[in-house]
């Protein structure tokens, strides 16, 4: 019996080793592939920041790439804090839905019931959370006030007064269309204050940050580019990665950005600063039902429909996508000059990807690739970006030389990547830098490279309009709307140009 018993335990031991090898080795192989993939992105200059991948509430992979401070060669670290930009709308939406569950707010009640000075009687909290309100932007509403008082500073409490005074009509009947607009979330922040009876910042700390364990998260005094010395501690500096040169331009040198956000000191739409692990903890708290009931979370992460039944790709604050490989994903992206952020979650597999980049790279592509790698889908390894080669040649040698190089590199897809998004980014890089002819040429070539993309024609039209080529711009905007009939911004511009 003793011999049999010993053999039995040896058999159990070897069986356990075999199972461990079967489970652990593929996991290690997957981890290695993921690390190789994103390391290649960083080597090619297309990623500089933090990536965190989690599965079933546990971190599977996390790594920091590049520099948080290029001038002083300070590397990004896993505890480096970043502004999260519009990902913050998820936190604001969660706070509002907490108050809905407490009966202090109702999704379908007019905002006027809670904020009597709100000038639009048919707009509800649901419309604000789903960006189907039709509200005009704050740039339009505050334009006259800024002309009267150029150095005026505006906060959330000024929204009601100025929107009521301006009396600008809604862009469309609430619920009949979708138009992404930061002011929706700023009004949600006002509703949170009204319903809870405490300041928005206090509510977020007590009901979102603390219950989630977001120990490094905070709301700055002024959003973006105006951080105090204490707020800047362990925070990534933001840079514009010019695609036509290897130099990184610090956003600190761009006074117009600082002045804009100092003037529009609003809260609720994306001003939060935190680490990637803070966002990981937020998602864990949501998944565990600590912040919302699971039924309310499911509703928030379900795509809504317009009044006419047309489905949207947005829920209650959440962007909702359906892909034939990834299945349903929910989350949000964010971006300001010098920054891109991404947060994507697969409810079925409970996989989460968080990406921060302080040189404003394309994080949407990175987060989707991360999920694909977690599903062990085969991906083409990251290649050199043709747009990064095309840009300097266009600037230094002109369109003909740049086109010749483009046509040459297109023939070597195993080494060089042709990306609509990267050419679009290059065009805006030229545009922001005042290099108008190069911007127009880049946007033009992008419409030829990707003729079925409404966004290429929209961007080309924008550049032509800024160059006062209104007739050509109108043609491009019409083509953009033809390709995407739901492109409301394009329709509005067409109406203005046709007057």
- Coil, strand, or helix at residue 342? strand
CB 220 within 8 A of CB 273: yes
**Run of H or E residues at 417:** strand 416-417
CB 186 within 8 A of CB 269: yes
How distant, in Å, are the alpha carbons of 40, 44, 121, 168, 352 from that of 48? 11, 10, 46, 42, 19
Q: Write out pLDDT tens, residues 159-205.
A: 999 999 998 999 999 999 999 999 999 999 999 999 999 999 999 99
DSSP assignment letter at 366: H
pTM of the model: 0.85
Q: CA neighbours within 13 Å on the CB side: how many for 373?
A: 28
Taking the CA atoms of 322, 323, 325 and 329 in sequence, report the sign of the dihedral they define.
negative
pLDDT confidence band for 136 (50 / 70 / 90): very high
Tokens linked to 188: 């949600």
- Coil, strand, or helix at residue 493? helix
| Structural domains for the chain | 85-374 (3.40.710.10), 384-497 (1.25.40.10)
pLDDT confidence band for 19 (50 / 70 / 90): very low
Strand-strand pairing, 351-357 and 339-346: antiparallel
pLDDT at position 328 over 90: yes
Q: Write out pLDDT tens, residues 203-223.
A: 999 999 999 999 999 999 999
Distance in angstroms (rounded) separating the CA atoms of residues 119 and 166:
9
Q: Phi/psi of residue 50, each to 5°? A: -125, 140
pLDDT at position 22 over 70: no
Distance in angstroms (rounded) separating the CA atoms of residues 158 and 152:
11
pLDDT for the residue numbered 9: 30
CB 469 within 8 A of CB 477: no
> How many angstroms from the chain centroid is the CA of residue 91?
14
């Amino acid at each position: 019996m003793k011999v049999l018993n010993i053999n039995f335990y040896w058999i159990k031991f070897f069986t356990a080793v075999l199972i461990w090898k079967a489970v652990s080795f593929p996991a290690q192989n997957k981890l290695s592939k993921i690390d190789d993939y994103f390391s290649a992105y960083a080597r090619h200059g297309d990623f500089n920041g933090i990536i965190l991948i989690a599965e079933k509430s546990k971190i599977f992979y996390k790594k920091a790439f590049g520099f948080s401070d290029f001038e002083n060669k300070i590397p990004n670290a896993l505890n480096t804090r970043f502004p999260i930009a519009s990902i913050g709308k998820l936190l604001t939406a969660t706070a509002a839905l907490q108050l809905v569950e407490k009966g202090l707010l109702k999704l379908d009640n007019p905002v006027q019931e809670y904020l009597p000075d709100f000038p639009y009687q048919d707009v509800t909290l649901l419309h604000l959370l789903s960006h189907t309100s039709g509200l005009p932007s704050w740039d339009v509403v505050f334009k006259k006030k800024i002309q009267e008082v150029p150095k005026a500073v505006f906060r959330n409490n000024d929204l009601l007064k100025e929107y009521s005074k301006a009396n600008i009509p809604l862009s469309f009947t609430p619920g009949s269309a979708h138009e992404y607009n930061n002011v929706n979330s700023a009004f949600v922040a006002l509703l949170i204050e009204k319903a809870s009876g405490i300041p928005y910042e206090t509510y977020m700390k007590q009901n979102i940050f603390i219950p989630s364990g977001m120990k490094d998260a905070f709301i700055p005094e002024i959003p973006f580019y105006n951080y105090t010395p204490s707020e800047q501690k362990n925070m990534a500096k933001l840079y514009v990665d010019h695609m036509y040169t290897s130099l990184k331009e610090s956003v600190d040198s761009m006074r117009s950005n600082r002045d804009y956000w100092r003037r529009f000191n609003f809260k609720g739409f994306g001003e939060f600063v935190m680490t990637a692990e803070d966002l990981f903890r937020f998602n864990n708290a949501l998944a565990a039902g600590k912040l919302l009931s699971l039924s309310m979370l499911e509703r928030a992460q379900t795509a809504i429909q317009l009044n006419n039944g047309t489905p949207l790709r947005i829920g209650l604050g959440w962007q909702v996508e359906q892909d034939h490989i990834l299945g349903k994903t929910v989350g949000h992206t964010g971006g300001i000059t010098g920054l891109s952020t991404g947060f994507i979650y697969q409810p079925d597999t409970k996989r989460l990807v968080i990406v921060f980049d302080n040189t404003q790279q394309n994080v949407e592509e990175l987060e989707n690739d991360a999920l694909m790698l977690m599903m062990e889908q085969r991906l083409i390894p990251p290649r050199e970006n043709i747009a990064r080669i095309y840009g300097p040649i266009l600037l230094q040698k002109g369109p003909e030389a740049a086109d010749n190089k483009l046509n040459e590199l297109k023939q070597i897809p195993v080494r060089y990547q042709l990306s609509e998004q990267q050419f679009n980014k290059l065009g805006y890089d030229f545009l922001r830098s005042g290099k108008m002819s190069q911007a127009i040429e880049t946007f033009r070539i992008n419409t030829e490279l990707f003729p079925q993309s409404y966004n290429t024609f929209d961007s080309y039209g924008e550049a032509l309009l800024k160059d006062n080529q209104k007739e050509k711009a109108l043609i491009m905007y019409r083509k953009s709307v033809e390709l995407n009939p739901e492109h409301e911004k394009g329709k509005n511009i067409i109406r203005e140009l046709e007057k």
